[in-house]
Structure 1
């Protein structure tokens, strides 16, 4: 797994160190050990990547790396779990079809999943060793809110966006809501997490978010300071998921009023409820070593595996239900709400 800097020009901000890697799809099913721990069925469908310790409940006192036997990620010491909702196409006749995921740039052989970034560099120059604290055992977080349907609500979270791909390299024109026109190369969903931690809450918070925060001013990329309530700088965790919406270009199947036809598995037709979930599961101090060593794409301090090897790590559904073909309703019977299409000003 080796790339030169020019192979990712235009893919990421101008930064000096980051991890960028592929994680293939582990499983697609209605489980959520953060929001619905212990419940054998969660309300809506998720697509999950990472270690195969993912389960109905995940005890924060037990490291996923101690239970997992494989990971879908190309950094082989990463047994974390990362997940988002699932995108569906809603046809004019009211039926639904799951939108497939395709591999990102440099990761075209990945079987679904997403691209994951961990960025320790803040603005200019290399990271000072110890200036960014890697996540700790038991750490987990959520960003975004699946109940949101307005732009004002969505703006409470920074950088939860969509990119209408003109081609695989498009990285401009992000919107808060679903794109309103067909996207020639698909829709990329971008999920960027907060980068400041309260320094004491290792094992989550009741809302899964209040233990983390965005910089008090500016952004992570501009070296914005952390608020006094959350003084510890943590890596910027960032997901890119490329949904292959090109299979649904036929506008005769789109809604008669011309509105965009995509909907999240939790029933959101606006896209403004975009959200992501994370459970930390790196083995030992692997992530801290990567952060301290200014790894830039390639990271000799970490063990790697091929995308093909990651593709082999799969998990059987624990919630057995039909999620493929044309469905008369979203899995779990989720109702569709909202209208989409608001660009970022």
Structure 2
């Protein structure tokens, strides 16, 4: 592995990396930032065409994002992307986190750029990981998938192989960030942290890494993909065997979102019963319902090339990159005209009669 890449990953808290990643003949791990494209209440995967959809999402990636997205090559529809790899016009989106104050009002928790990412306008850190050249098949145009379960309110029971977790930073500047995502028994949890986090919170969402090789999507956006034999694989563990029903190994996608909860750490502002005050935008107060959506949009064979070359970190020979001053300018106009940032009496979408609501 490249020594500079190792240092960067260590600083980012990614230390449990499989042997052989990075460099010729080894595995690949792209790690790059995608700035915020839009905060909006539309969902072309779960609620296509519905304006507004039931809850707010934060979206990153290409500007082809819309309430309905055709099952086609998105890279030929989008004209810009918020990702630093300019060939990646994919869209990635997750639920937002809101703070629920003692008086019952809600405020969206702002995002901040992840460690070693740069001056991004919030957004998401994206990983694509492969165990070695020609060992994964990149996604095809029109491919889309979903990770998680929005209705989940208790642990999935996967232990350290959990596919969704939160890291409670112990100090500013990503304090305590020394172990691989979801692997720290002290500051990682599958549900929302129960105590204030001095440095904010990082969300992780990990997608399945096996595909049936035929369907670009499925009715629930999950059944065409699967976990390896033996169950879910933790972050960057991509050498597991795929089941016969889903024999094609695909790159492991991992999303990280950092939430600046520090301004909401005063216990006197928390609910009187002392319960944790965070809630996902679809109304989940446990955090177990965290989920992520993905629509593939890499241009031509650029992702396959990156995986086969063993590309590592935020750069890759043959792929073009852009700095965040340019990436931050790629935006999509909100489809739903509503306040998502001020102090609100209800979560957006939970009360269609709330002030300022219109579609």
TM-score, with length taken from structure 1: 0.90
Task: Give the 3 Å change call, closer, same or farther, for CA 130–47 of structure 1 in structure 2.
Answer: same
1:105 offset after TM fit, Å?
Answer: 0.7
Q: Which stretch shifts more, 99-108 or 83-92?
A: 99-108
Task: Give the 3 Å change call, closer, same or farther, for CA 247–21 of structure 1 in structure 2.
Answer: same
Q: What value does the CA root-mean-square deviation take over the aligned residues?
A: 1.9
Q: Verify: 1:326 aligned to 2:343, yes or no.
A: yes
Give the counterpart of 2:327 among 290, 307, 310. Answer: 310
Matches within 5 A, 1:1-345: 4-9=5-10, 10-15=13-18, 16=21, 17-60=28-71, 62-121=72-131, 127=132, 129-152=133-156, 158-167=162-171, 168=174, 170=177, 171=179, 172=184, 173-202=187-216, 204-217=217-230, 219=233, 221=237, 223-297=239-313, 298-333=315-350
SS in 2 for 1:7: helix
Contact 2:107–2:342 at 8 Å: present in 1 too? yes
Partner Cα distance (2:324, 2:203) in 1: 21
Contact 1:148–1:154 at 8 Å: present in 2 too? no
Deviations 1:55-108 (Å, cap 9, x if unpaired)?
Answer: 111111x21111111100000000000000010000000000000000001124
Contact 1:181–1:260 at 8 Å: present in 2 too? yes
1:13 offset after TM fit, Å?
Answer: 2.8
Partner Cα distance (1:258, 1:154) in 2: 28
Contact 1:145–1:274 at 8 Å: present in 2 too? yes
Partner Cα distance (2:8, 2:305) in 1: 24
1:31 offset after TM fit, Å?
Answer: 0.4
Partner Cα distance (1:108, 1:327) in 2: 31
Tell me how many residue pairs correspond in the alignment: 325
Partner Cα distance (1:23, 1:150) in 2: 30
1:153 offset after TM fit, Å?
Answer: 7.5
Q: Could you list the structure 1 runs, at least 4 aligned residues long, displaced by more than 3 angstroms after superposition.
A: 152-155
SS in 2 for 1:65: helix
Q: Which stretch shifts more, 185-194 or 325-334?
A: 325-334
Deviations 1:268-302 (Å, cap 9, x if unpaired)?
Answer: 00001110000000011110010110001121121
Task: Give the 3 Å change call, closer, same or farther, for CA 102–216 of structure 1 in structure 2.
Answer: same
SS in 2 for 1:18: strand
Partner Cα distance (1:151, 1:107) in 2: 30
SS in 2 for 1:252: helix
Contact 1:154–1:273 at 8 Å: present in 2 too? no
Unaligned runs of 5+ in 1: 122-126, 336-345
